[in-house]
C-alpha cells in the first residue's frame, strides 16, 4: 500500500488456488480420490477434510481449492489422482501466486477478529479434558452443517450431554492475562446458546457462570429473560477450578457464588468456555501499511471516539466491524454502512482540498540527510540517499515533526513557521518573563484540554502563557532554548497521550527531543526540571489545571539568578542546534 487520500496504490497478492474457480463445477470427484486427510479448520478441527477441499458448502467462490502444503504433488508416483478424475481439467498444480496492482481512492479496513485461544487459562482444563470446549466449537457441534449434522454430542463419548455449564469472560475482562476489555458479544452468544439448547432438547439443564450479564442491545434483555424462563440458571461468579472424573468424563467446577458468598461445586456433562475475541493476527502489518494507530487493547484507533467513529486518522481510510472494537453483527453492519457512506462521500466529491498546514522543503538548503523522512509518521517525505527530500503535499498531515527535526532550516511548516512561533515566544516573554509559566500545547489534545478547563470553569494560576502548535512534535529544541534565553523560568511542552496522538505517533519525537533537551540543560548547568513534559487529553481539563498549578509551584522555586544564568549560558552558541549541524557549520566558518 502506498499513496495518500484519493490516490492510493494497492499491491495485492492473489493466492494460487490450484483449481480454476471459473471451470470447477464443485462435483466433488476429486475429494473422493484424495488420499490426504487433515483437520478441518472450518469445523474447528472437529472433523477432517482432504488436501483438496471446499471450505464450506456455501463458500464463495463455490469452488474447490488445493492446499499445496498438504498435497502430495502431481508426480505420478506420488499422487496426481485428483487431476486424473477431474473431467473439467480444472486442476493446475503449477498455479502460482499473482501480484495485482490497483489504483484506489478509499480504503475500508474490515479485518475482523481472532477468537481467543483458552490454552493459557489452564484452570479450566481446555487442553486436558475432552468435554471442555469453546463457544466456537459449540457453534459447529450444534450446527446442522457441522460434523455431527447438528446432533449435539460431547467429544469424549459422543453422548448427548444433559447438564451443560457455560463459563463467561474467558479471555475477556481479565487484566491478569492482559485482557482488560469486554469482548461485547459473549454474553448474548451464551444466552443464544442456552435458548438453542432448550429449544432442541427440553430436558437440558444449562448453568451460566458470569461476572455481569451485559444484555444492553435492542431486544437483548428480552432474550435474557426468555432463557431464564426456559430454565437456564445464572450464577454470579467465575469458577476457580475444573476437575474431571476420569471414568465418566464429567466435570466438576468449584465456584464462589458471589451473590450468596458461598463456595459451591457443580457437576456437568460438558463445559463450554465462552471465549472472548482479540485483534486479528497481522493487524500490526495492516496498521503499518496504512499508518493506523491502535488503542491499548490493540484495536484500531478511530479519528474521534464520538464525532468520527469510522474514520481512521489517515485520511481516506475507514473502519468497519470488529477491528475497530468488539461489536456484534448488527453493529458491524451499521459501521460497514457508515464506512461505505464515508468512502462514497469522498469518491463522489471527485477531488479534495488539503489544509494548507503542510511542510515544504527548500531544495537548496536541504542537505539530503533524510532525517525528516525518518520522523514523518505518514511516509509523506520521499528521500533517497544523496537526493534532496521531497514532500508529497497531499500525504502530509501537518504535524511539523520534520520541521522541528531539520538541522539545516530547510523545512518550512506552512502556517506554523519557525519565525512565527519564535515571534510568539519572544512577544510573550518580552516583559517580566520571571512571572510567567511558558507552555507549548498541541492543538488536538492539550490546547483542547485547556479549553475543557475553561468550559468547566476550573481555576488555575493566571501565570501560564500558551503557544499553540498543531503537534507537540512541532516544538523544536531551538524553540525551547529560545524561551529560556528570553528569561522563561519554566517551560512546559504538552501533547496528546500516546494512544491519542493525532499524527499517529509523531509525539514520540517530542519525547526524544525532551531527553536531548534535559541532557543539554544539565550540561549547561541549568536545572533540567525547569523543563517539563505532560500528556493532556482533550477531555482532561482537570489535569490541565493541575499541571498549571504544579508549574506555578515550580516557577516559584526558580530564582532570578538562575534565570539570568540560563539566559547567559544559552546565549553565545555559534550556530543553532545539535551535533551534525554544528560540526558542518563550524567547518564552513573556519
Partner 1 sequence: MVANKTNGEVRVGVFVCDCGLNIAGAVDCGAVTEYAEALPDVICAVRNKYTCADPGQNEIKDAIRQHKLNRVVVASCTPRQHEPTFRQCVREAGLNPYLMEMANLREHCSWVHPGEWEAATQKAKDLVSSAVARARLLQPQEELTVPVTTSTLVIGGGVAGIEAALEIADAGHQVVLVEKEPSIGGIMAQLDKTYPTMDCSI
Partner 2 sequence: MATTTSETFRCMMCGHEYEEPVEKGEDKERSCPKCRSNSIRHLKKKKPAKE
Answer yes or no whether residue 75 interacts with partner 1 by CB under 8 A.
no
Cα–Cα separations (whole angstroms), residue 218 to 223, 328, 398: 10, 12, 42
Q: Is 159 or 423 the residue whose CB approaches partner 1 more closely?
A: 423
Q: What is the rounded CA–CA span in Å between residue 48 and residue 38?
A: 5
Cα 466 from Cα 493, distance rounded (Å): 10
Binding of residue 156 to partner 2 (CB under 8 A): no
- Closest CB to partner 1 among residues 139, 243: 139
Q: Is residue 325 near partner 1 by the rule CB under 8 A?
A: no
**What is the number of residues in the chain?**
590
228 grid coordinates:
431464564
Between 74 and 505, name the residue whose CB sits nearer to partner 2: 505
Q: How far apart are CA 152 and CA 143, in angstroms?
A: 8
Per CB under 8 A, 220 contacts partner 2:
no
Q: Which long-range contacts (CB under 8 A, 24 or more apart) does 253-260 make?
A: 253/165, 253/167, 253/209, 255/209, 259/235
The one among 35, 284, 288, 337 contacting partner 1 by CB under 8 A: 337
* Listed residue (573, 567, 421) closest to 489, CA to CA: 567
CB of residue 427 to partner 1, shortest distance in Å: 4
Q: Whole-angstrom distance between the N-terminal and C-terminal Cα of the chain?
A: 47
Among 191, 213, 563, 570, binds partner 1 (CB under 8 A): 191
Q: Which is nearer to partner 1, 392 or 569 (CB)?
A: 392
531 sits near partner 2 (criterion: CB under 8 A): yes
Instruction: Mark the segment that binds partner 1 (CB under 8 A) among 106-114, 239-247, 477-485, 519-527.
Output: 106-114
Cell of 64: 474447490
Cβ neighbours of 389 (radius 10 Å):
24
Stretch that binds partner 1, among 72-80, 427-435, 476-484, 562-570 (CB under 8 A): 427-435
Cα-based torsion angle of the residue sequence 19, 24, 29, 32 in order, rounded to the nearest 10 degrees: 40
**Grid coordinates representing 60?**
464463495
Is residue 552 near partner 1 by the rule CB under 8 A? no
Calculate the CA dihedral of residues 239, 243, 244, 245 and round it to 10 degrees.
-120
Which residues within the stretch 225-254 sit at the binding site for partner 1 (CB under 8 A)?
A: none
497 binds partner 2 (CB under 8 A): yes
* 535 lies in the site for partner 2, by CB under 8 A: yes
Tell me how far, at minimum, the Cβ of 261 lies from partner 1, in Å. Answer: 32
- Position 478 contacts partner 2 (CB under 8 A): no
Interface residues for partner 2 in 548-577 (CB under 8 A)?
A: 550, 554
User: Can you tell me which of 81, 156, 508, 584 binds partner 2, judged by CB under 8 A?
Assistant: 508
**22 interacts with partner 1 by CB under 8 A:** no
**Contact residues for partner 2 (CB under 8 A)?**
497-499, 505, 508, 514-515, 518, 528-529, 531-535, 550, 554
Amino acid at each position: 500500500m502506498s499513496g495518500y487520500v484519493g490516490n492510493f496504490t494497492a499491491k495485492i497478492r492473489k493466492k494460487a488456488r490450484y483449481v480454476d474457480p471459473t471451470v470447477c463445477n464443485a462435483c466433488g470427484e476429486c475429494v473422493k480420490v484424495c488420499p490426504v486427510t487433515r483437520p478441518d479448520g472450518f469445523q474447528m478441527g472437529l472433523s477432517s477434510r482432504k488436501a483438496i477441499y471446499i471450505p464450506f458448502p456455501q463458500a464463495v467462490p463455490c469452488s474447490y481449492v488445493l492446499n499445496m502444503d498438504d498435497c502430495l504433488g502431481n508426480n505420478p508416483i506420488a499422487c496426481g489422482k485428483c487431476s486424473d478424475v477431474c473431467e473439467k481439467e480444472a486442476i493446475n498444480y503449477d498455479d502460482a501466486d499473482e501480484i495485482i496492482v490497483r489504483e484506489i481512492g478509499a480504503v475500508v479496513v474490515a479485518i475482523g477478529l481472532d477468537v481467543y485461544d483458552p490454552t493459557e487459562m489452564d484452570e479450566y482444563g481446555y487442553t486436558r479434558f475432552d468435554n471442555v470446549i469453546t463457544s466456537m466449537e459449540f457453534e459447529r457441534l450444534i450446527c446442522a452443517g457441522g460434523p455431527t449434522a447438528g446432533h449435539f454430542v460431547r467429544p469424549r463419548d459422543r453422548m448427548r450431554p444433559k447438564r451443560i455449564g457455560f463459563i463467561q469472560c474467558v479471555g475477556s475482562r481479565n487484566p491478569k492475562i492482559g485482557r482488560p476489555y469486554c469482548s461485547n458479544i459473549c454474553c448474548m452468544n451464551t444466552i443464544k446458546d442456552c435458548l438453542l439448547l432448550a429449544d432442541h432438547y427440553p430436558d437440558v439443564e444449562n448453568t451460566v457462570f458470569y461476572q455481569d450479564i451485559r444484555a444492553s442491545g435492542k431486544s437483548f434483555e428480552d432474550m435474557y429473560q426468555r432463557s431464564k424462563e426456559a430454565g437456564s440458571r445464572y450464577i454470579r461468579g467465575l469458577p476457580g477450578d475444573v476437575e474431571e472424573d476420569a471414568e465418566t468424563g464429567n466435570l466438576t467446577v468449584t465456584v464462589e457464588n458471589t451473590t450468596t458468598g458461598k463456595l459451591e461445586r457443580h457437576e456437568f456433562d460438558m463445559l463450554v468456555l465462552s471465549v472472548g475475541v482479540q485483534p486479528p493476527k497481522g493487524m500490526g502489518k495492516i496498521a503499518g501499511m496504512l499508518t493506523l494507530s491502535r488503542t491499548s487493547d490493540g484495536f484500531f484507533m478511530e479519528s474521534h471516539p464520538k464525532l468520527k467513529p469510522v474514520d481512521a486518522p489517515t485520511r481516506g481510510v475507514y473502519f468497519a466491524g470488529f477491528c475497530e472494537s468488539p461489536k456484534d453483527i448488527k453493529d458491524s453492519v451499521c459501521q460497514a454502512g457508515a464506512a461505505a457512506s464515508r468512502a462514497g462521500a469522498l469518491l463522489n466529491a471527485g477531488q479534495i482540498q488539503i489544509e494548507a498546514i503542510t511542510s515544504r522543503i527548500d531544495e537548496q538548503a536541504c542537505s539530503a540527510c533524510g532525517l525528516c523522512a525518518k520522523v514523518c509518521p505518514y511516509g509523506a517525505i520521499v528521500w533517497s540517499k544523496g537526493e534532496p527530500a521531497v514532500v508529497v503535499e497531499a500525504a502530509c498531515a501537518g504535524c511539523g515533526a520534520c520541521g522541528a527535526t531539520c538541522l539545516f532550516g530547510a523545512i518550512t511548516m506552512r502556517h506554523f513557521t519557525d519565525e512565527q512561533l519564535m515571534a510568539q515566544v519572544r512577544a510573550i516573554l518580552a516583559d517580566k518573563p520571571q512571572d510567567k509559566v511558558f507552555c507549548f500545547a498541541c492543538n488536538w489534545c492539550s490546547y483542547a484540554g485547556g479549553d475543557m478547563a475553561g468550559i468547566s470553569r476550573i481555576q488555575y494560576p493566571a501565570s501560564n502563557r500558551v503557544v499553540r502548535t498543531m503537534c507537540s512534535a512541532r516544538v523544536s529544541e531551538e524553540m525551547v532554548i529560545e524561551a529560556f534565553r528570553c528569561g522563561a523560568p519554566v517551560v512546559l511542552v504538552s501533547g496528546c497521550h500516546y494512544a491519542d496522538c493525532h499524527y499517529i505517533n509523531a509525539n514520540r519525537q517530542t519525547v526524544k527531543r525532551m531527553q536531548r533537551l534535559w541532557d543539554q540543560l544539565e550540561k549547561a548547568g541549568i536545572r533540567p526540571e525547569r523543563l517539563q513534559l505532560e500528556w493532556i487529553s482533550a477531555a482532561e481539563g482537570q489535569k490541565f489545571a493541575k499541571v498549571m498549578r504544579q508549574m506555578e509551584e515550580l516557577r516559584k522555586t526558580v530564582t532570578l539568578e538562575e534565570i539570568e544564568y540560563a539566559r547567559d549560558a544559552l546565549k553565545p552558541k555559534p550556530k543553532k542546534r545539535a551535533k551534525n549541524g554544528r560540526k558542518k557549520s563550524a567547518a564552513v566558518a573556519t
